[in-house]
Amino acid sequence: MHPSRPVASTRNRVAPGAILGVAILAAILFPLRAFASEPVPEVKTAVDGVLDLFKDRQVVALGDFHGLAQEEAFYCTLVRDPRFAEQVGNVVVEFGGSEAQDIIDRYVNGEDVPFTELRHVWTDVVGWIPGPFALGYVNFFANVRAVNLKLPAGHRIRVWLGDPKIDWSRINSFQDLQPILARRDENVASIIVDEILKKHKKTLLIMGTGHLVRMAPGPGLIPAPPNVVAKLGEAYANALAVVSPFTGYIEPNATRRSSLGPGIGRSPRSPGRLRVPL
């Protein structure tokens, strides 16, 4: 496979009739708001809906439903829109190890990088065992490269690899991984704060949905360590919007009834939640 050529993702395709959508969780847009009544929504395409969020937020997070081919294809559609490079210009991803930041920088800027070297971007990661397996993640990097090849150096998309650095020579058991695993959310938050927010830039964040939702512990349970949303919320209360995938309900009829059609609109049964079918 030529590293600069986008490849088709064929894994984990949703069966015919299934609906893939994206729910923009307004509850994550600090502070939490209650909606007494819902006006008729303005319908937009998914790309337009996501890009519109950047008008008010510096960070828009897409919750990654790991291995879902349609969502991976949407990432590529989004970065290929000319407005993305112009209005946003940065992407922080969970599916890449920061040890390989220099490699991905050279690759997406058009340098010839041997595949044996490039593969370390998505294989030398901590939180994926084994490493990210879906071709859509590799395809995403190739699509960013393809976009950048048509842009001048000062206007290219920058990809930031969010997983912490790791020295595999020191890892001899799963227990050895635990301290590094515990730093995953902190590492992503640090990149966003230091490289984006403090420099008054904007970024797309692609990360598993579980890292992006505030979850209260059950009775008698120990609270989980603060995730990315909690860490950003402590200092940057109004910086973040979260978009998570809607993959349908268990009952097909419920999924069909909940569909809003091709566009973006507010769910009538979930005040404060927007659904963006892809």
pLDDT at 257: 56
pTM for this model (two decimals): 0.73
Mapped onto helix, strand or coil, the DSSP state of residue 212 is coil
Q: Is pLDDT above 90 for 164?
A: no
Q: What percent of the chain has pLDDT over 70?
A: 67
Q: Is pLDDT above 70 for 159?
A: yes
Q: Is pLDDT above 50 for 50?
A: yes
Q: Is pLDDT above 50 for 16?
A: no
Q: How many residues does the chain have?
A: 278
Q: CATH says 21-31+39-167+188-210+224-243 is which class?
A: alpha beta
Mean pLDDT, rounded, for 181-207: 90
| Greatest extent of the chain over all pairs of C-alpha atoms, in Å | 58
Angle, in degrees to the nearest 10, between helices 69-80 and 46-53: 60
Rank 3-7, 88-92, 216-220 by mean pLDDT and report only the highest.
88-92
pLDDT at 102: 96
Report d(CA 71, CA 194) in Å as an integer.
28
CA distances from 34 to 1, 217, 221, 237 (A): 50, 22, 28, 17
CB atoms within 10 A of CB 183: 15
User: Mean pLDDT for the chain?
Assistant: 75
